[in-house]
Structure 1
Amino acid sequence: MIIIDQNISLELVEKSLLGSMLHENYLITDSQVKAEHFTTQVHQTIFNTMQQLANTGKSIDYITLLSSREPLELGGANYVADLKNYANTTKFDQYADIAMANWREQTKQQILAQAQAENWSIQDIQTNLDNLSDTGATVNTSIKADLMLAADRPYEPCSVKKGITTGLDDLDKMTNGFQDGELFILAARPSMGKTDTLDHFAINAGLKGHLPIIISLEMKRETLIDRLIAAVGSINRLNMRDPYTTMSDEQKAKWTQAIGILNTTNIQIDDRPAMTVPQIRASARKLIKQNPDKKPIIFIDYLQIIRGNNPRDNQTQIIGQISWDLKQMAREFNCPVVCLSQLNRSVEQRQDKRPIMSDIRDSGNIEQDADVIAFLYRDEYYSKESEAKNQLEIILAKHRNGPTGTVTAAYVKETGRLLNIDWGAAR
């Protein structure tokens, strides 16, 4: 038994991978795991059998596996049945990395031993070692086909790729909506309306037929749902505590209508606390697989309370790794990832309290990894004499593929609702 670290053996890693695949069949084809990454013939045979069943469109379970091979080839009926006890889909990616890293190390040792025995040239050794980083995916590196497609662009009407709408016209004009593969950081001090803005984005994405996935690390599911109902129904949140006694018949009718509207949005909420990025990725992957006909958009509340993978790192290192992982997740799922972030207290010490990039708490690599960084600011929070009543500034401080600047939305704090500024006062 090969020991990977103090707590995990390679045998258990491989059992967990196979058990997770039995539990969630889509992992068989959606991951980069191959038969050669398993160290035993039994595990390779089990995986190959799973792949054969998956390629023919059949479900993979205890019965179909044992019906496809002689039980002894799979380690026996009890061995196959026991695999599900090791399933851990939230750590699947981590365990897959361990298995592939072990395969690369073993293969490297074999290459070096063969090179020494056969007196290979340095160039041959380097070529073989470089091939280890190739997971088998075919990568098209030539730009010839792309240039052919680009040749006619000056002579054809331009078609701008629209992303998932933000629900705010002025913000959509600047960003073209939330774009696939991009990480959007939305940062603000407390009481600026971060969660309400996230809810607004999720509701509008859902109403347009997309799949909003909310990872709520701070707020419980029930509280978040109440806020969604209040925003859609324009219901004062004070009435949400005891709607039976505090709401009029007219308000109760709004409540029912709001629930009907929310029911069409297909919003998904995972409110487990202290999640890691691999857990968030596993949760999102499962939901995306369950809704293959909908474009996903992932919302996370909020960045600083995502749990890091290495407790020995300091907070800046942890946040830097998390921001990089979130960007990779956006690229992997080819969907927007919108993540809330806290700002440090330095904002409060300045006369102009509009946030700037350096105000992001534990910034790490956030400024580098994010495609868009936006700040929220409400002038009336700091000044009772402010003329900007019920207004929320959304300050685009970084926009990798577009302009920066400020847009203003109407914000009704009592209901948590955001509206276009030109008609917000009427609502």
Structure 2
Amino acid sequence: MALKETGSAHSTHDVEAEKAVLRAMLRSLEAIADVVEVLRGDDFYRPGNELIYNAILSVYADGDTPDPASVAARLTQRKELDKAGGAEYLAALAGSTSRGSAWVKEATRLQALARLRRTRVAAVHIENLVDEGSADNADRIIEAAQAEIFAATTHRSNVLPPLYSLSDVLEDALDQIEAIGSLRTELTGVPTGFVDLDALTNGLQPGHLTVIASRPAMGKSTLALDFLRAASIKNNLPAALFTLESGREEVAMRLLAAEARVALHHMRSGSMADDDWTRLARRLPDIAAAPLYIQDGAYSTLTDLRAQSRRLRSQQDIRLIVVDALHMLTYGTRPFSSRYEEISEISRCLKLLAKELGVPIVAISQLNRGPEQRVDKKPHISDLRDSGALEDNADMIILLHREDAYEKESPRAGEADLIVAKHRNGPTATITVAFQGHYSRFVDMSQPVPPARPAPDAGQPEPAETDPAANT
């Protein structure tokens, strides 16, 4: 029996450590302040000790000093004194010999043991789910298993999130407004690389879902890569790309073309000149050092994407996720009555994933043929394909439009409009940028557009949009 109370090297509980923590809390207000940052009530193995812990915090929250008498009174008020072990147990607890003042160390040990116990319970539950499951609901079981392990192993110091009075919230908000005003040049989100877009949005905000949408061959994948370049190459922020449309080598070539200003079709045709190689070599070290992670495997289900995203957030502290493309993603084997419902659920889950991980997620989507029916060909937010729920779940929607995609002789050739059609936390606007298709990138209009190097078999410069593959 003594072994059960004390715990062995292979045990997942230590009742003597629980007593030491409670003893410290009954003797020191400092101990209470330290322990409450580490432990929560259900981290205790002995139910009676959990009751005592909660009673100590209740007395402490009322502004009183917890001691055996006040804690016993609070337990009596709650009709829990006998369950906690009685007044004699409390008195013996406070009067026994201390194991020292290392209450934080003891509390940390108890918290770790509690997570082990929860993990064991989760493992049993997962085993039961697997035994009762089948191939038809495999994705649902896997997602439930991941959630069980995540809940069991994630440390939360409080049972319930704290409540804040409006006056406290207003004070913090005013402080934040003042701080932002004094640091106007600093963004609160992940930079996009476009001055006007960053000025409008203050960067891609953590927890937000941004949708980039256009008709085919407008350059939405290129724009998403520009966001990734700005984050990982220019600002050294870890970022991840989940691509179902392009292979990782193709993505790498586009990044090289955009950063080194080497025409993408020169890379693909093997016609790179010496100055191309020189520019490439000059930028290669910075590109290779960028914390950008590319997943081009068979991650075609939302369940796989969520699992990989959680792992990247935990191991690499990623700050931006791009999903290319939403219309190629499936939820899994869970049946839906229509593709509309499936895309609605996928977009909802991506928004929840952004909030869970605390990072911005950019998802690429298609538009229906609505723009082709209009004289000016400009897209509207109602043109989003498969699901109007994208409009509800997205915090920001950017519609990409290029006049020269429809009219080659357009006076606006080489320009593109980033139509911010929805912006939950700010105004909408249309931002004009330059499209350099041969380099597979967009840039601010203020940046000069270098001419493309003449092709090996031609004496004239090539037009800016000669590579259709750069426009996806």
**Alignment counterpart, residue 377 of structure 1, candidates 401, 405, 409:** 401
Q: CA deviation at 1:157?
A: 7.2
Name the % identity: 31
- Give the secondary structure class of the aligned counterpart of 1:260: helix
Distance 2:260 2:344 in 1: 38
Tell me the SS of whatever aligns to 1:398: strand
Query: Deviation digits for residues 222-257 of structure 1, max 9, x if unmatched?
Result: 1111111111111111112243xx111111112222
Distance 1:237 1:404 in 2: 33
Change (3 A) 1:414 1:216: same
Deviations 1:339-389 (A, max 9, x none): 100011122121121110111101241100000001001111111221112
Q: Is the 8 Å Cα contact of residues 190 and 205 (structure 2) preserved in structure 1?
A: yes
1:244-323 to structure 2, matched below 5 A, reads 246-292=271-317, 295-309=318-332, 310-323=334-347
Runs of 5+ unmatched residues, structure 2: 1-41, 45-107, 118-122, 125-137, 452-472
Query: Which protein has the larger Cα radius of gyration, Structure 1 or Structure 2?
Result: 2
Match of 1:184 in 2: 210
Cα deviation code 1:68-125 (max 9, x no counterpart): xxxxxx99xxxxxxxxxxxx99975432557999xxxxxxxxxxxxxxxxxxxxxxxx
Letter in 1 for 2:330: R
Measured in 2, the distance between the counterparts of 1:210 and 1:403 equals 27
Superposed CA RMSD in Å reads 3.4
Instruction: Report what 2:425 is aligned to.
Output: 401
Paired position in structure 1 for 2:238: 211
* TM-score, with structure 2 as normaliser: 0.61
* Preserved CA contact (<8 Å) 2:382 2:388: no
Shift of the alpha carbon at 1:274?
A: 4.9
Out of 335, 338, 341, the position equivalent to 2:365 is: 341
After superposition, give the CA deviation of every residue in 1:258-285 in whole Å (9 maximum; x if it has no partner).
3222113211001123522221121122
C-alpha separation in 2, matches of 1:273 and 1:353: 35
Equivalent position of 2:112 in the other structure: 55
How far off its partner does 1:152 sit?
5.9
Q: Which residue of 2 aligns with 1:221?
A: 248
Once residues 213 and 188 of structure 1 are traced to their aligned partners in structure 2, the CA distance between those partners, rounded to angstroms, is 22
> 5+ unaligned residues in a row in structure 1: which ranges?
1-33, 37-50, 66-73, 76-87, 102-133
Aligned residues: 318
Among residues 174, 195, 200, which one is paired with 1:174 in the alignment?
A: 200
Cα displacement string for residues 29-62 of structure 1 (whole angstroms, at most 9, x for unaligned residues): xxxxx999xxxxxxxxxxxxxx969939xxx9xx
- How far the C-alpha of 1:288 sits from its partner, in A, is 2.0
Alpha carbons of structure 1 residues 378 and 97: separation in structure 2 relative to 1, 3 Å: same
Letter of the 1:304 counterpart: H
Q: Is the 8 A contact 1:90 1:282 kept in 2?
A: no
- Indicate if the aligned counterparts of 2:399 and 2:419 stay in contact, CA closer than 8 A: yes
Task: Write the distance in 2 (CA, Å) between the matches of 1:315 and 1:426.
Answer: 44
Partner Cα distance (1:52, 1:92) in 2:
30
Match of 2:242, SS state, is strand
Q: 2:441 aligns with which of 397, 400, 417?
A: 417
Name the residue aligned to 1:95: 145
Provide the rounded CA distance (Å) in 1 between the counterparts of 2:43 and 2:176: 44
Counterpart Cα distance in 1 of 2:263 and 2:394: 34
Q: Helix, strand or coil for the counterpart of 1:366? A: helix
Deviation at 1:151, TM superposition (A): 6.0
Paired residue secondary structure (1:395): strand
Structure 2: distance between partners of 1:328 and 1:414: 37
Could you tell me how far apart the structure 1 residues matched to 2:237 and 2:175 are?
32
For residues 193-245 of structure 1, the C-alpha deviation after alignment (integer angstroms, 9 at most, x for no partner) is: 111111111011012121110000111111111111111111111112243xx
Counting only pairs closer than 5 Å after superposition, residues 40-189 of structure 1 correspond to structure 2 as 55=112, 93-96=143-146, 137-143=159-165, 144-150=167-173, 158-159=181-182, 162-189=188-215
Secondary structure in structure 1 of the residue aligned to 2:304: helix
The one-letter code sitting in structure 2 at the alignment partner of 1:395 is I
Distance in 2 separating the partners of 1:203 and 1:100: 31
Query: Do the aligned partners of 1:410 and 1:418 also contact (CA within 8 Å) in 2?
Result: yes
Question: Which whole-Å deviations, capped at 9, do the CAs of 1:147-199 have from their partners, x for residues lacking one?
Answer: 34346678777356521111010111111110111000000111101111111
- Whether 1:352 aligns to 2:376 is yes
Native 8 Å contact 2:191 2:231 kept in 1? yes
Equivalent-residue separation in structure 2 for 1:234 and 1:318 (angstroms):
40
